[in-house]
Amino acid sequence: MFVHQRQGSLEVICGPMFSGKSEELIRRIKRAIIAKQKVQVFKPALDDRYDASAIASHSQRKHEAIPVKNTEELLRHLDPEAQVVALDEAQFLDEGLIPIIEELANRGVRVIAGGLDQDSNGEPFGIMPILLAKAEYVTKLQAICMVCGALAGRTQRMVHTGGQVLVGAAEAYEARCRHCHETPHATGPRMLDGE
């Protein structure tokens, strides 16, 4: 699917929870390692659900990663010799990541970022919309709706707590399709102008 290029690029893997984003990120990391490329992997320190120092999928596939609290910490750990930089759960990182990614890609580095494109209210999540707009390659994965079995592009929060960020897994979230997804502030379908 992706041809190795000399010029840098940004690849974004997005979708709801349980769609296989971390599995796909780990697969691409392993392929880059097989190709004998110098790879560096980062994850937000906030996400310690399965492992504090590894990207971990819900199916327990793992790859070691450097946990960072913010982009300043990421910059301190960044290896100038890295040919591939991978980031998991990019929606949790701050906007300072955007110029870093731009600089890396412009310098010839392949950057691969995975994350949720929407929060549990179905709204754009963190810096993901900007990364999607700037990416050369976008892979949007689907899960299976836990209500009706259709393809799911949204994440349903099953526990009622405030705030956009609640780090959790199957105990707190389900994958849902557009029609089965519910939000606390939903008021029914919106009509377009003229309807």
Bind-site residues for Zn(2+) = 145, 148, 177, 180
Let me know if 89 is a catalytic residue. Answer: yes
Residue 168, exposed/middle/buried by CB under 10 A (0-12, 13-18, 19+)? middle
**Residue length, the chain?**
195
**Ordered DSSP codes for 115-181:** E-SB-TTSSB-TTHHHHHHH-SEEEE--EE-TTT-SEE-EEEE-S--SSS----STTTEEEE-TTT-
Could you say which DSSP state residue 6 is in?
Answer: S
Per the annotation, binding residues are: 15-22, 88-91, 145, 148, 177, 180
Could you say which of 23, 24, 89, 174 is catalytic?
A: 89
Among the listed residues 191, 183, 144, the one whose alpha carbon sits nearest the alpha carbon of residue 164: 183
Q: How far apart, in whole angstroms, are the C-alpha atoms of residue 137 and residue 130?
A: 13
**Active-site positions?**
89
